[in-house]
């Protein structure tokens, strides 16, 4: 099926600011509450949210095989499970209906009132019911930085790292959408120089700039997905802030890896941008040396040029940008991650979330966590209000953004905002 939704020349009859992340070529998918408090699946063009459930009921998807209630759900899981052919047909149709030359909905005021919402009339929800959450560790710069700080600068990368996309299984229960505040976690830490741990609030709460991909039903128990087919099972991407408590993490992570230092919260952006919409922004991944084993070998442009940034907003203050990085820095691409994940026969389902791992670039201003930006707190960041940050303070809000851009279009992810509150008190 052609990707007619990606036509860069198409204009919409809806107003789209030229700096918008959501031109008619994006057509992301999300879940929102409408002004009548009804939960629905929708998309967005410019600053207009579009109720796909209402569009379907009013006949705008006629001719596409969809069940009646496919969009009248509180998650995208069933729609994602329908597969790429359905995603494409729906994106193509939305592009057609909102095309500047199409009068059908444009001239139907009654229908427009039912289908279109201003952003301040809706409330974005978590777009998927996350079945399983896996977090990789796929940026060579990040793994090298963390290995240097936590272990040994001479042997920063462990020997397995260049041979496989290293990852761990996280918790799906603490994955949240944008604008949901979190509490500073408490736990055990080992103070510098001490030989016994203490209990208390984490002093080193950090963000991780990541992206995550969302899968469709991919394989049954025992089956593997070949690396050259892996992208067929990727629905789309979101921004992911994988919150981390560095002091808890440091004390607990040997020998079984991340646990309570990681699973208190991960925030994801609410609009899932499809892999199809990102197609014009393919780039080559970094060269892999040594050459991976055959089951992990990929050819061509397997990465995407996605500009990412993170900022910190103190309570009542202005945002200070602390990181500018790019998804293309990832050493291991998504196809390799999915092929590796299933090579032992582990099933991957619709609505699984796969984090990339922190995306650090080669320069200090492109590091994707405060741990690296301030080098364990030894080089604090100067904020616009004159204060300093080593890690994240109570009441700070961390903001992440991401977008792709070429001469024709800009496709983005919008914003992901999460405020850190003090420890939870009953």
Q: Which residues are tagged catalytic?
A: 142
Whether 101 and 28 have beta carbons less than 8 Å apart is answered as no
Nearer to Mn ion, 114 or 260 (CB): 260
Q: Closest distance between Mn ion and the C-beta of residue 34, in Å?
A: 33
Residues of this chain, 207-266, that bind Mn ion according to CB under 5 A: 208, 242
- Candidate segments 36-44, 128-136, 196-204, 372-380, binder of Mn ion by CB under 5 A: 128-136
Q: Which is nearer to Mn ion, 172 or 274 (CB)?
A: 172
CB of 243 to Mn ion, least distance (A): 9
**Nearer to Mn ion by C-beta: 206 or 276?**
206
Minimum distance from residue 209 beta carbon to Mn ion (Å): 9
Around Cβ 72, how many Cβ atoms within 10 Å?
17
Write out the binding residues for Mn ion, residues 4-63 only, by CB under 5 A.
none
Q: How far is the CB of 168 from Mn ion (least distance, A)?
A: 9
> E-strand spans in 356-409?
381-382, 388-389, 397-405
Q: Which residue is nearest to Mn ion (CB)?
A: 242
Separation of alpha carbons 55 and 41, rounded Å: 10
State how far the alpha carbon of 84 is from the alpha carbons of 75, 224, 295, 344, 366, in Å: 17, 19, 24, 25, 34
Nearer to Mn ion, 208 or 252 (CB): 208
d(CA 352, CA 133): 6
- Closest separation in Å from C-beta 60 to Mn ion: 39
- DSSP H helices in 204-275: 246-252
Contact (Cβ atoms closer than 8 angstroms) between residue 89 and residue 276? no
Phi then psi dihedrals of residue 143, to 5 deg: -60, -35
Residue 339 DSSP symbol: H
Based on the shown chain and the rule CB under 5 A, indicate whether residue 372 belongs to the binding site for Mn ion.
Answer: no
The window from 36-44, 62-70, 184-192, 201-209 that contacts Mn ion (CB under 5 A) reads 201-209
Cβ proximity of 379 and 387 under 8 Å: no
Q: Which is nearer to Mn ion, 184 or 246 (CB)?
A: 246
Three-state secondary structure call for residue 272: strand
Q: H or E element: which one contains 393?
A: none
Q: Which residues within the stretch 384-413 sit at the binding site for Mn ion (CB under 5 A)?
A: none
Considering CB under 5 A, how many residues would be counted as binding Mn ion?
Answer: 3
x/- letters, 130..149, toward Mn ion (CB under 5 A): -----x--------------
Query: Minimal CA–CA distance to 184: which of 425, 370, 421, 426?
Result: 421
CB closer to Mn ion out of 262 and 328: 262
Residue 282 CB, shortest distance to Mn ion, in Å, is: 24
Binding segment (CB under 5 A) for Mn ion, from list 92-100, 101-109, 206-214, 314-322: 206-214
Going by the DSSP 8-state scheme, the letter that residue 287 receives in this structure is P
Residues that bind Mn ion (CB under 5 A): 135, 208, 242
């Amino acid at each position: 099926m052609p990707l007619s939704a990606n036509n860069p020349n198409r204009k919409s009859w809806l107003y789209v600011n030229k700096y918008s992340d959501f031109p008619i070529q994006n057509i992301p998918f999300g879940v929102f509450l409408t002004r009548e408090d009804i939960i629905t699946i929708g998309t967005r063009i410019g600053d207009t949210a579009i109720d796909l459930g209402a569009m379907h009921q009013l006949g705008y998807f006629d001719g596409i095989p969809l069940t009646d209630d496919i969009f009248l759900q509180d998650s995208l899981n069933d729609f994602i499970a329908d597969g790429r052919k359905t995603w494409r047909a729906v994106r193509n149709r939305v592009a057609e209906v909102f095309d500047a030359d199409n009068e059908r909905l444009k001239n139907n005021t009654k229908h427009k009132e039912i289908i279109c919402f201003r952003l301040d009339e809706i409330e974005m929800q978590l777009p998927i019911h996350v079945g399983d959450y896996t977090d990789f560790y796929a940026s060579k710069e990040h793994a090298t930085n963390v290995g240097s700080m936590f272990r040994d600068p001479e042997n920063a990368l462990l020997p397995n790292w260049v041979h496989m996309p290293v990852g761990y299984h996280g918790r799906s229960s603490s994955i949240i959408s944008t604008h949901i505040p979190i509490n500073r976690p408490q736990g055990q830490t080992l103070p510098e120089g001490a030989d016994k741990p203490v209990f208390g609030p984490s002093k080193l709460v950090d963000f991780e700039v990541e992206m995550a991909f969302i899968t469709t039903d991919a394989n049954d128990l025992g089956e593997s997905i070949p690396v050259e087919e892996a992208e067929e099972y990727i629905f789309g991407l979101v921004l992911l802030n994988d919150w981390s408590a560095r002091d808890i993490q440091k004390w607990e992570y040997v020998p079984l890896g991340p646990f309570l230092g990681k699973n208190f919260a991960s925030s994801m952006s609410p609009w899932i941008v499809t892999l199809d919409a990102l197609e014009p922004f393919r780039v080559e991944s970094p060269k892999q040396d040594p050459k991976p084993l055959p089951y992990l070998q990929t050819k061509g442009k397997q990465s995407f040029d996605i500009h990412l940034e993170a900022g910190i907003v103190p309570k009542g203050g202005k945002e200070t940008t602390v990181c500018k990085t790019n998804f293309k820095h990832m050493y291991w691409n998504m196809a390799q991650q999915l092929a590796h994940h299933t090579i032992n026969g582990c099933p991957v389902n619709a609505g699984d979330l796969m984090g990339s791992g922190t995306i650090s670039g080669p320069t200090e201003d492109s590091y994707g966590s405060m741990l690296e930006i301030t080098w364990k707190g030894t080089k604090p960041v100067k904020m616009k209000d004159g204060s300093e940050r080593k890690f994240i303070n109570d009441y700070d809000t961390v903001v992440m953004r991401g977008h792709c851009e070429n001469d024709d279009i800009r496709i983005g992810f919008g914003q992901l905002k999460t405020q850190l509150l003090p420890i939870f008190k009953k």
